[in-house]
Amino acid sequence: MSRRTQSLAISRFTIVNSLGVGSEAVARALCEKRSGLVSRNFETAGVDTCIGPVDGVEDFRIRQDLRDYDCRNNRLAQLCMDQNGFAAGVAAARESYGAGRIGLFLGTSTAGLHSTELAYRSRDPRTGALPADYRYAETQNTYSIGAFARRYLGLSGPGFVVSSACSSTAKVFGNAARMIAAGACDAAVVGGADTLCLMTLYGFQSLGLTSRYPCRPFDAERDGISIGEGAGFALLEKTDRAAPGALQLLGVGESSDAYHMSTPHPEGLGARMAMQRALASAGLEPRDIDYINLHGTATKSNDASEDRAVFDLFGPETPCSSTKGATGHLLGAAGITEAIISLLAIEQGMMPGGANTRRIDPALKSRYLLENKQQKISRVLSNSFGFGGSNCSLVLGVAP
């Protein structure tokens, strides 16, 4: 959206990933510069890589009336909505706006795909049929997380699920902003979840993109990603005048690489365009940004291309880092996770230094932070780029 975005208040948010359950736990882990990445295999996977798992999902119970939706992805979504008073906050918003005036724009890359992976291992040996208790609509379909959250939160406004790989849950902020601007709703829940599954572990391995070590974004020796899992949700509301100190969505910028299905444009053209559009929609200049939360996946090509785009636009001064060394790459949930980490950075006045990275690649020119940096932060730019060349940048800030 090139036109100025009307800023929206971010009145509630919640987050769960390998760093912790709820925003306080995640903020604490970032302050302590901990990483949630472990050298362990998910389920029966035999991939030599590290993962960022959320412990205890196996034993978590989905709300009884929604048990048809039971799968790892929806469990993670419910666990997340139960933190930070999020579900209660949405219930209060439902009272004031009406359930039909709150939109629900979620994202995911693989939804409950692991349920299908398990079902394919239990096919009827004679007919090939999937087990009778396999539930496609509630677990496998890309919309399953939307259907689940809509019922869990009791919402009846407009909604859908965005699935544009690793930019999905950044792009949902744009959907919410447009729907609110168009008058289709007054508030919106955005976010989503992505969970570990065999497809992404083996798939990224087949592309030679998984690292044996906890991923090291921007490091000279970086050699690939670590896949994590997690969820995050935020409540966006239209406001006439934001209260001082209120967190806000200031801008959204989207673009396409038009280059390759799984490799970013080498000069970062699409990334640069997304950042420029996000700044334009916020009515800001590069110098107005205090910190950049990079996409920074730790593959050779992604970091090089993003660095080029960031350096071209922001120069050598603007501090930036990737938090994927701490969380791993949450794929479809990366956008919301890093948007919320950006909000935590603003709240705490702390730019997180990149975990695991030891020696910055001398070929990369942006100002990458290795250590946490205490400083007042008013505006953050957060990048999310995905397969298919789908790019999205967000500008988040605090009302003066």
Give the Å distances, CA to CA, from 192 to 123, 195, 362, 371.
30, 10, 36, 29
Burial of 104: CB neighbours in 10 Å, binned 0-12, 13-18, 19+: buried
**Nearer Cβ to another protein (205/378):** 205
Does 329 qualify as catalytic in the annotation?
yes
- Pick from 203, 284, 286, 365: which binds another protein (CB under 8 A)? 203
Work out whether 206 is an interface residue with another protein (CB under 8 A): yes
Work out whether 387 is an interface residue with another protein (CB under 8 A): yes
Question: 293: closest CA among 215, 351, 370?
Answer: 351
Sign of the Cα pseudo-torsion (71, 72, 76, 82, in order) = positive
- Pick from 125, 128, 316, 362: which binds another protein (CB under 8 A)? 128
Does 71 qualify as catalytic in the annotation?
no
* Cα angle: 366, vertex 370, 375; to 5 degrees: 85
**Nearer Cβ to another protein (136/221):** 136
Does 260 qualify as catalytic in the annotation?
no
SS3 385: strand
DSSP conformation letters of 35-59: ---BS---TT---SS-EEPPTTGGG
- Pick from 126, 243, 261, 316: which binds another protein (CB under 8 A)? 261
Q: Footprint of another protein on residues 130-159 (CB under 8 A)?
A: 130, 134, 136-137, 140-143, 146-147, 150, 156-159
Work out whether 178 is an interface residue with another protein (CB under 8 A): yes
- Pick from 198, 313, 330, 394: which binds another protein (CB under 8 A)? 198
Work out whether 170 is an interface residue with another protein (CB under 8 A): no
Work out whether 125 is an interface residue with another protein (CB under 8 A): no
Catalytic residue among 166, 215, 320, 392: 166
Which contiguous run of DSSP H or E holds residue 107? strand 102-107
**Nearer Cβ to another protein (248/391):** 391
Structure-block tokens of residue 388: 């298919």
Q: Footprint of another protein on residues 21-60 (CB under 8 A)?
A: 46
Total chain residues near another protein (CB under 8 A)? 72
Work out whether 388 is an interface residue with another protein (CB under 8 A): yes
Query: In this structure, what DSSP letter does residue 229 have?
Result: -
Catalytic residue numbers read 166, 295, 329
